[in-house]
Structure 1
Amino acid sequence: MAPFELALPSRRGDVDQALLELDKRDAFDRTVDELIGHTDDNSCTKEVTMGIDNALASVAVTDLHVATAWYAQLFGRAGTTPMTELAEWQFPRGGWLQVYQLPERAGQGSCTLAVSDVAAVIKQLSAMGVDISQRSSDSNVKTVRVTDPDGNHIAFAEAMDSTLAQ
């Protein structure tokens, strides 16, 4: 098909369905525009805030079974598997870490996990044979950065300042 050609639906029912979908999208767009106060020049007249309740971090891995065993040892407990290609761990004060099998993205992720005692984490990581040489500390936070078997970067951070995320 040349760039200027338009593929038309072959049956009347297909045309009606396509028009119905366009009407739904148009109605949705109008509703969103009303909510946020969009104007014709694409500016907004109302302040909009998002009600985010929690956050999930996720990292891609090559082999879910290998990764789940490593993370289970790291966290001292098995994760749950709500889907065959995903394992996850929920943390006591909120938040989750999801590990999912997607080899083409494995090793490209990073996340930071807030801990109350980074020295204890360093001791545990050392016992697991994990490289703990990437450490930093200042008056606000103490961190250790490690990589999982796929190369994803995991930071453990202990906030020394109570105004920082904990």
Structure 2
Amino acid sequence: MIDIARRMATPWHLWLVGLLSLAWNGFGAFDYIQTNTRGEAYMRASGFGDDMIAYFNAMPTWMYVPWTLGVWGAVIGSLLLLARSRFAVHAFGLSLIGAVVSLIYSKFINPPPALPPELAMMAWMPYVIVVIAALLLWYAWTMAKRAVLR
């Protein structure tokens, strides 16, 4: 009976944020899997040219760590948020760290070649990813502080 009362106390926005974040981060996971399994064929289908494919293929091995943390931390964080687990905060924290390291690498350490005009808006995507990761961490932390997450 107490568990039912707790479930009824779950704010509606938790389900909305959880499902939207799972959809957003699920696409990130799809992109991660496709890029790492189909490689050049997937990148060409996404509109990348030879210079961008060469840039990606030259990415140092250590960069796979923050990329993996960013993508899978976000997916796991979304699932944990929907499960109302306080560990969503930790998963989203790892995701944010991965996104920030990836942003620093791609914007300051080793910037990619210029994108073709039809993909120019994609240059903002690393910033968008970091902002969304930070908002999801903040949201999960807020829900944990309000004892919505167990």
Comparing both structures, which one devotes a greater share of its residues to strand?
A: 1
Instruction: Return the structure number with greater relative CO, CA threshold 8 A, min gap 6.
Output: 2
Q: Above 0.5 in TM-score?
A: no
Q: TM-score, length-normalised on structure 2?
A: 0.28
Higher helix share: 2
Q: TM-score, normalised by structure 1?
A: 0.26
